[in-house]
Chains A and B, each alone.
Chain A
Amino acid sequence: AQSVTQLDSQVPVFEEAPVELRCNYSSSVSVYLFWYVQYPNQGLQLLLKYLSGSTLVKGINGFEAEFNKSQTSFHLRKPSVHISDTAEYFCAVSRAEAGGYQKVTFGIGTKLQVIP
């Protein structure tokens, strides 16, 4: 079975400071990796995804993430956060199961609180 661990449930950070939201996964096979963001009172939307190729993935709103296969991590980073980045961030992992079905598992989420 696959699992996704988001190590921090809440991350407070001052405006214009850098931030890293951590995500680790467990899987014995190749996976696809995603980060989603949920703004207050809204559904989730995709920030970025890793399918293959370059391990550094750039997404929307200045976010990027680095896939590290040896550490089974996919941490999300932003060099300078804005108040508008206050939201909940979900890491997700997709892997093929028996019969070719692709199962997606979401982490429990990390609440990013940007402090003015």
Chain B
Amino acid sequence: DSGVTQTPKHLITATGQRVTLRCSPRSGDLSVYWYQQSLDQGLQFLIHYYNGEERAKGNILERFSAQQFPDLHSELNLSSLELGDSALYFCASSPRTSGYNEQFFGPGTRLTVL
């Protein structure tokens, strides 16, 4: 158990819908990272928040957005969902910005878009 929690574990929805994925980092970790893992593209970095502020963006679509709240939990919002958005979404946390710090990964949310 990494100490990072993600809800829900599984999510099945239809194209065009909007969903919210939630992540609670390890106690004391200020950084939260979001990743998308799919069979064809591997592990793709989406976005990084540090202590409530966006620090870096990766391959995140405009239909996707995220935020980190004062209690440090984070939410990833996916809208106008397409079939290709079906993937595993992981969040990870680390004490500060990652670098020499390892990232601790949650168990993931499996999103299926039908």
Per-residue contact bits, chain A 21-53, to B (CB 8 Å; 1 contact, 0 not): 000000000001010100001111110010100
- Is A103 an interface residue when CB atoms closer than 8 A count as contact? yes
Q: Which residues of B contact A104 (CB under 8 A)?
A: 33, 45, 98-99, 103
Q: B102 to A34, Cβ gap below 8 A? A: yes
A103:B102 contact, CB within 8 angstroms: no
Count A-side interface residues using an 8 Å CB cutoff.
23
Contact A106 B107 (CB under 8 A): no
* Chain B interface residue bracket vs A: 20 to 34
Q: Assuming the A-B contacts A94-B99, A102-B97, A102-B99, are A43 and B90 also in contact, with contact meaning beta carbons closer than 8 angstroms in the complex?
A: yes
Q: Contacts of B56 on A, CB cut-off 8 Å?
A: 101, 103
Interface residues of B in 63-114 (CB under 8 A from A): 90, 92, 97-100, 102-108
User: Which residues does chain A contribute within 8 Å of B98, judged by CB atoms?
Assistant: 94, 102, 104
Q: Contact: A94 with B100, CB < 8 Å? A: yes
Which A residues form the contact surface with B (CB < 8 A)?
A: 32, 34, 36, 41-46, 49, 51, 90, 94, 96, 101-109
Query: Which residues of B are interface residues toward A (Cβ below 8 A)?
Result: 2, 4, 33, 35, 42-43, 45, 55-56, 90, 92, 97-100, 102-108
A-B pairs with beta carbons under 8 Å apart, 9 shown: A43-B108, A45-B104, A46-B102, A94-B98, A94-B100, A101-B55, A102-B100, A104-B103, A105-B45
Interchain residue pairs A-B with the least CB separation, the first 6: A102-B99, A43-B105, A108-B42, A46-B102, A44-B105, A106-B43
